[in-house]
Structure 1
Amino acid sequence: MKHYQEVIGLIRAGVIPALGCTEPGAVALAAAYAKQAFGDMDIAEGQITVSVDPNVYKNGLAVGVPGTGQAGLAIAAALGFLIGDPGQELSLLSGITPGLLEQAKVMTQTGKVSILLNDKQGLYIEVIAKAGDTTARSVIAGNHTKLVSLQFNGTDIISAADNIASTARSKFCGDDVSLGELINAVEAAPYAELVFLEECVSMNLAAAAAGLTGRLGMAVGAHLQDLISENVLANDLVHYAKILTAAGADARMSGETIPVMSVAGSGNHGLTATLPVVAVGERMNISREKTIRALAVSAAVTLYIKNFTGSLSALCGCAVAAATGASAAIVWMLDGTTEQINGTIKNMIANLTGMICDGGKVGCALKLATAAGVAVETALLTLKNVVVPCSNGIILQSTDATIRNLGLVSNPGMVHTDKIILDIMLEKSKVFLNPDL
């Protein structure tokens, strides 16, 4: 883990392209695996049942599915099954055609796709496809792309036991490695090992540009830009980072067919972990190589934190993980000391830990704007040696121990909160489905 080759390999595995919200994307992927196991299936005679954990359900309830004009997990599952190409992972829905979309709509409208809520803790998606006496079952668990079980008529094609080694390799932290060692590994890596992150910059900036020019979603980024043009807000570094990051979320959460580079299985995490860093790099005239290396620092810190907070929780991971990664990267990029990098992580955790996740939706652009602005502002304050004392709240002298405390706040601390959030959202959805209630 302490060698740069392993760390860069883990960053590569955790930074991948994604189209649309990754919870519907993961459901589509699980359905594609089931289709792969099933082979030919007459949809008119078949049934697809999808069972998801509360957080996948929450994040898929109101977010647009790219290329469909619809929201929800059912249409994603139908399309994933029809496309049937799990090799595309979280970019699977880029394979939508008008014909497939019409078939998927028929499937959902005729009750061929059922979405069930289970009580699993942590990311868990099970898809069961049945037609006559034939059954295929797939399970994705732990993260958005990790297939842990695939069965055909009850016989394992892939089992959880087959994935033990893979799970061990994907572990990003533990008692044998510290956050500092991960950053040291990024610093030691030859630049040639990091140039793959160039795609992060181009892809996520393209999403931000689309959000701005198209005034997509809630147009949070575009409206912030308008306020600068009207001389209401300052055209400063903090607002530039907020505009880019919010505009990327505006594009992504609106359901447009616009890919972004995800981090830790989330496109919004990817936007938050990268665009504030890019904004600072541009405005501060930082070299391209140093900016790219800073993005690796951001990804490493984000993935490290997510290993403690979990893939999905009641905490907004864009705030507590991705923005913290961005802030650490900005301090690193501006030649901050190790103590200052640790300080900005503590400051971010002291500041944004209370931000909740209430599902994926266009309003996420507001949270990403807040997280991006705080990431930049906190980095700049920390470089002035403004650091919250370890006597405060959940902050400890050790940054690694502070992150572990954050993990405890997430789980078990916020488990009941998560349930209440979901209950509220489910009750509200009844009103939207039945306006007369």
Structure 2
Amino acid sequence: MDKSLLINILKNQVTPALGCTEPGAVAYAVARAKEILGTEVSKLTIEVDKNILKNGMSVGIPGTNEHGIVFAAALSLVIGKSEYVLEVLKDVDDKSINKALEIVKKDIIKLNLNENISGLYIRVDAEGNVEKSTVIIKNAHSRIVFESKNNNVLFDNTAPVGIQSTNKQNSGNEIKYEIKNYSIDDLILFAGECPIEELDFIKTGIEMNMRIANVGLTENTGVGMGDYFYKNATDVFSMAKAYTAAASEARMSGYPLPVMSSAGSGNHGLVAIIPIAFIGNKKNLPEEKIIRAVALSHLVTIFVKVHLGALSPVCGCGVAAGVGCAAGLTFLLDGSSKQIKSSINNMVAGISGMLCDGAKLGCSYKLSISVDAAVDASEMALKNIFIPDDNGILGDTPEKTIMNLAHVSNIGMKNTDGVILEVMLNKC
């Protein structure tokens, strides 16, 4: 087993993100297009797939009271720096907000839906008086695959997913697909045996996500879900649920703190990290054990996501990060390999039907449900309660279960995103 490759996958997929990753990814593309253009942007055309549009419609933009993709793009024209990647808007202040609002009023930004494309897709065309630039992101939130200026191609890296990139700036973004070459047993073994010094960055993510959870519980950042769960918590597990919901509320409302993401999503990172870290600390478990459990949670989350795709009709916070969390919790509480794998099947058996209807404050409730389910799935497995593999879409291994889940989502629910978006747009 190549442990160094798994370390590199983790480092590639566990990265800081400021605000929701969908408008953040658009802002990243806008910043790069602006930099290539080199002059003032007089017209900006943005084309996205249905999932980017769905997830970017209602979510707060960090450090502001504004929402949505168009404002994020306008703010990126003012302060966006592509070197910050998914923290592209971190230099926001009142002056830049006012300038961005002026740009929105000028109506120079056009946001279009590409109904025919599948998978994550963002295209930004920026125009000046005579100059023009194009940037395309595809299949991962920070994976720029195409850049041009005045119709001269600067690079074109539109090879199919899974083929190693030759572009030095973006070659790391496809490394995540290598995780398909590992089994869940491999991931469990890695989490237990990897030199702990190689996992220092996992500790950074724990600290980052617990920081925003504390903010969510001490400041009025949402509608009060985290506070509600906190006041009604009766044990360490329900407290972990409250902290996770509070962190998501703060993030979805646009609080200007970064979170550590997992598999391309900040909310995935909250579910993958916070319950394990909180429960481990409250039970006075060794820090090393907590770090290793969180590492496994991330790895299982990534494993599920590479099968599901970057964005899907089902809620990744439940069926990816929630699954990772269940596995990590079982590892944390000294579960055997069989129990860890069974917690994955238990989790999928219960939460596979949760739909994704865009990023918004309500995601905080879905995160809390995911934590609840992950705790139950783990506790059942630890007591050797295993949902039989002849039930529904479950397979006789966790790998087969995950592939079955992906098949239902990617094939069986092919039109679901379009219908959800139609409802959202007509409602608005």
SS at match of 1:164: coil
**Aligned counterparts, 1:266-281, within 5 A:** 266-281=265-280
- Give the number of aligned pairs: 418
Hey, what does 1:147 align to over in structure 2?
144
What code does the residue aligned with 2:165 have? I
Q: Distance in 1 between matches of 2:267 and 2:175?
A: 25
Hey, what does 2:133 align to over in structure 1?
136
What code does the residue aligned with 1:50 have? I
Query: Does residue 214 of the first structure (1) align with residue 211 of the second (2)?
Result: no
**Greater displacement, 47-56 / 370-379:** 370-379
SS at match of 1:294: helix
Q: How much does 1:186 deviate?
A: 2.8
Deviations 1:201-224 (A, max 9, x none): 111111111111113212211011
The verdict on how the C-alpha distance between 1:178 and 1:266 changes in structure 2, with shifts beyond 3 A counting, is same
**Greater displacement, 88-97 / 288-297:** 88-97
**Greater displacement, 176-185 / 333-342:** 176-185
Hey, what does 1:62 align to over in structure 2?
58
**Greater displacement, 95-104 / 370-379:** 95-104
Deviations 1:223-251 (A, max 9, x none): 112234xxxxxx21321111110010111
CA contact (8 A) 2:216 2:249 kept: yes
CA contact (8 A) 2:81 2:89 kept: no
Hey, what does 2:400 align to over in structure 1?
401
Hey, what does 2:72 align to over in structure 1?
76
Query: Does residue 227 of the first structure (1) align with residue 216 of the second (2)?
Result: no
Hey, what does 2:175 align to over in structure 1?
169
CA contact (8 A) 1:36 1:84 kept: no
What code does the residue aligned with 2:200 have? V
CA contact (8 A) 2:60 2:360 kept: yes
Hey, what does 1:110 align to over in structure 2?
106
Q: Distance in 1 between matches of 2:74 and 2:280?
A: 42
SS at match of 2:335: coil
CA contact (8 A) 2:145 2:156 kept: yes
**Aligned counterparts, 1:12-27, within 5 A:** 12-27=11-26
What code does the residue aligned with 2:211 have? A
Q: How much does 1:123 deviate?
A: 0.8
Q: Distance in 2 between matches of 1:80 and 1:409?
A: 37
Q: How much does 1:152 deviate?
A: 0.6
What code does the residue aligned with 2:278 have? A
Q: Distance in 2 between matches of 1:330 and 1:313?
A: 25
Q: Distance in 2 between matches of 1:81 and 1:412?
A: 38
SS at match of 1:194: helix
CA contact (8 A) 1:4 1:188 kept: no
Hey, what does 1:197 align to over in structure 2?
202
Hey, what does 1:232 align to over in structure 2?
none
Hey, what does 1:433 align to over in structure 2?
none
Hey, what does 1:160 align to over in structure 2?
157
Hey, what does 1:99 align to over in structure 2?
95
Aligned-residue sequence identity (percent) comes to 39
CA contact (8 A) 1:328 1:344 kept: yes
SS at match of 2:154: strand
What code does the residue aligned with 1:113 have? I
Q: How much does 1:81 deviate?
A: 2.6
Q: How much does 1:158 deviate?
A: 2.4
SS at match of 2:213: helix
Hey, what does 2:185 align to over in structure 1?
180
Residue 83 (structure 2) aligned to one of 87, 98, 103: 87
Q: How much does 1:15 deviate?
A: 0.7
Q: Distance in 1 between matches of 2:158 and 2:119?
A: 19
**Greater displacement, 181-190 / 408-417:** 181-190
Q: Distance in 1 between matches of 2:81 and 2:205?
A: 24
Q: How much does 1:305 deviate?
A: 0.3
RMSD: 1.4
- Return 5+ residue gaps in structure 1 as ranges: 229-234, 430-437
SS at match of 1:90: helix
What code does the residue aligned with 1:194 have? L
Query: Does residue 425 of the first structure (1) align with residue 424 of the second (2)?
Result: yes
CA contact (8 A) 2:301 2:323 kept: yes
Deviations 1:69-100 (A, max 9, x none): 11110011112232241110111111113332
What code does the residue aligned with 1:419 have? G
What code does the residue aligned with 1:143 have? A
**TM score, norm. by length of structure 1:** 0.93
Q: Distance in 2 between matches of 1:177 and 1:248?
A: 31
**TM score, norm. by length of structure 2:** 0.95
SS at match of 1:270: helix
**Aligned counterparts, 1:351-430, within 5 A:** 351-429=350-428
Q: Distance in 1 between matches of 2:220 and 2:380?
A: 32
CA contact (8 A) 1:276 1:375 kept: no
Q: Distance in 2 between matches of 1:68 and 1:149?
A: 30
Q: How much does 1:398 deviate?
A: 1.6
Hey, what does 1:253 align to over in structure 2?
252
CA contact (8 A) 2:230 2:243 kept: no
What code does the residue aligned with 2:6 have? V
